[in-house]
Each structure stands twice: as C-alpha cells, then as structure tokens.
Amino acid sequence: MLMQNNYDYIIIGAGCAGLSLAYRLLNKSHTVCIIESSDDINKRNKLWSFWDTYETPFNHLIKKKWKNLLISNENESIKINCEDYNYQSISSLDFNNFILDKINTSSNIDILFSLEVKQIVKKNSDVVVITDKDEYFCSHVFDSRPNNKKTFMKQQFFGAYIKSKEDIFDDKLAAFMEFTTIKNKFHFNYILPFSKNMALIESTFFSCNEEKKLLNKEYINEYMREKYGDKEYVIEKTEFGSIPMDIGINSLSERFITKIGSFSGATRASTGYTFINIQRQMDYLMKIIPNIQKNKINKHFHKFILRKMDSIFLRIISRNPDYMKIALMDLFRTSSHKAQIRFLSDMPSIFDIMKIIFYLPKLKFLLYALGIREKNDK
C-alpha cells in the first residue's frame, strides 16, 4: 500500500474494466491508484457470461460451464453446440474479491473508495484528478465511468437466483434465448442452471425505450408457476441492470485520458457481451502502456464490418422485433455453430462472417443496409 497523492497511473472505477487493468499492473514498476465512487463494490453482485473463445487470467473463477445452449420460441427449440467453445459464467463477487485480495497485498497499487471524481485537468506534465475530497496526480488516466450520451438501445434485465426444494433443472442445458410471445417487443428469458436445484432466471429486453413491465419478481414467480407448477422454491437474491447497445460509443478522449470498459465501446452493440472484450482491451493496453502517450488508440474497439452488421441488427430489432426473433432462429438452424459463436464473441474470421450473411435472411438485411426497408416497417 502506497497511500500517496502522486502516481504513474490513475484508474477511475473499480468495475470489471478497472480491476482487470489493475490485476495486470500488480507488482509492476508502475505506481497505480484506483479511485472508486462507491463504498462497497460488492453491493450489487453480477454474473458475467461468455463463450470460451479467448484465454483470460480468470479461468479458475469460472462458476459453471455448459456445452449446450437452447434458443427457442413457442414453436421450436434449437440446441446450440458449445463443445468447442464452452459457455461459462463468472460471478462479480468472486472476481472482485480475488483481485481486491491481490491489491491489498500488492507493492504498487492503492484503491480508494467513496471518492467522486469532479474534474480531470492537465497541468504542465501532470494530470490532476480532482475529487470531492482531494487532488491526485499522475501521468495518465484510465477512465471507466459511464458517459451521459444517450444510447440507441439498451439491454435491460432482471434476474432471480432460484433455489428449489426438488431437482427440477437440467444443469447440462442453459437457455440462451427463450423468446416469449409478447408482440412488438424483443423479449426473452435467459436461464442458467448451476445445479439441478439452483438456477438464474432472467427476464431481458433489447429496447430503445425504458421497459418497466416484466422486470420484477412477479414475472419470475409467474414464469416458475407456468414452467414448474407447484414446485417449492425460494428467491435467494436478484440482479438487475442496463447495458448500452450502440455502435457510436467510442474511446475518443483527451490525449492523457484513455476510456476503458463498456463506455469505451468494448460492449458488443448487438449482444451486450462485454467480459471477453474487456480482457482483450486490457491485454492490448498492457502492450502499449510504457508509451501510451505516443500510441494512437483506435476510435472504435470493434471492426467496421461488425459495427455495420450490428447497426443493421439493432435497427431491425427497433423497427420489427418479431422478425428479428425469427431471423435469429434461422441463424442457428445449422449442424455446426462454431461460426455463430465466434461471430457473437467478436472473434470471427472472414469466412465466419460470410457464413453469417448466408444464414440470415439476405433480402431484408440488404434493404435495411441500404436504408430502404425500415421506411416501410412499423
């Protein structure tokens, strides 16, 4: 523990991005300070899920892996083969505590809680981070705070951790997207069974508007009654949140500030997946940190072709959500799903992208790409 006001780097925010970067800087030659606005980062426990398409330092924290997922609607169920890229989850509680323990015994990193950053200014060769209590000096800032920019769409969710008295869940099969029959809304249930009597059941919207219905315990209880009848269970805890879905979020900032995390554009606009992208972002930053002031950070985290395809996905969801549900079922109606998984995980080859285009309804997507069809939809 250093407990000083002068550092090489300051990280604003002790979320997934801030802690992921701090972990990679542990016991290096750089002095680091993490400034966090809350007094306890574990007040809200979250679950991060992703396919195993990229090696991270946190595999030992994996809570559960699945080799099969399900995408379904009222008429059909399709099993997604994840043998090559397991679907897996990490609890933010386990992640946070693992890294906090490392920070507390580190020789080069301080973490300060309950500090609100008011301003960041450049003074000669120093960068000054002004908080509501003190000023801190460094040569570069990594900022993970949300911005005030209105995003095109958000993934809004409410989840409940269900513990049943009997074994009612199939813990070998998770529900990736269980589309509901609600018309003109992109709504689905997301179910991760951790054991035969414990599961996360989540109600999720992709929407441009603020959704209030179905994001509560009442909906979860109704779902349990319809699915499992009078089986006894308890809700042990809940989680809720909103993830930005917008191709316009980018990493542009002052030369002495690098945006990181969701609000630097690391979140995949069409899916909301973030964890693996943050790990990729941090691995890249570690390569350039010694000369970060001289290195030009790309404006966009994602490649142009992925941003273009995501833009079409989001526009169709906003204008014709029922059609997009059908299109996504079509996307997985194949014998192999490796290309789809790599595409959704931001790791596609050009051949994967060509396959995705082939699997999807080409005419409507082309019309949206040209801005023609959306004038007639809705």
Residue 115 lies in a domain: yes
Q: Distance between CA atoms of 225 and 251, rounded to whole angstroms?
A: 45
CA 353 to chain CA centroid, Å, is 21
Output the CA angle 178-88-342, nearest 5 degrees: 80
Residue 53 lies in a domain: no
Answer yes or no: do 118 and 214 share one domain.
no
Residue 184 lies in a domain: yes
Answer yes or no: do 132 and 271 share one domain.
yes
Q: How many domains does the chain have?
A: 3
Last residue of a domain, one of 235, 265, 291: 291
Answer yes or no: do 178 and 311 share one domain.
no
- Domain ranges, residue 329: 304-375
pLDDT by position in tens, the chain (length 378): 566 799 999 999 999 999 999 999 999 999 999 999 999 999 888 899 999 999 999 999 999 999 999 999 999 999 999 999 999 999 999 999 999 999 999 999 999 999 999 999 999 889 999 999 999 999 999 999 987 678 899 999 999 999 999 999 999 999 999 999 999 999 999 999 999 999 999 999 999 999 989 999 999 999 999 999 999 999 999 999 999 999 988 776 678 999 999 989 999 999 999 999 999 999 999 998 888 766 667 778 888 999 999 999 999 999 999 999 999 999 999 999 999 999 999 999 999 999 999 988 776 777 776 666 655 565
Answer yes or no: do 14 and 123 share one domain.
yes
Q: Is 201 helix (H, G, I), strand (E, B) or coil?
A: strand
Residue 253 lies in a domain: yes
Answer yes or no: do 24 and 102 share one domain.
yes
Q: Distance between CA atoms of 83 and 39, rounded to whole angstroms?
A: 41
Query: Burial, 5: exposed, middle or buried (Cβ in 10 Å; 0-12, 13-18, 19+)?
Result: middle
Q: Distance between CA atoms of 234 and 163, rounded to whole angstroms?
A: 5
Bridge partners, residue 188, by sequence:
179, 204
Q: Residues 176, 190: contact at Cβ < 8 Å?
A: yes
Residue 87 lies in a domain: no
The CATH number that applies at residue 33 is: 3.50.50.60
Q: Distance between CA atoms of 124 and 54, rounded to whole angstroms?
A: 40
Q: Is 276 helix (H, G, I), strand (E, B) or coil?
A: helix
Task: Give φ, ψ of 65 to 5 degrees.
Answer: -125, 150
Answer yes or no: do 319 and 330 share one domain.
yes
Residue 60 lies in a domain: no
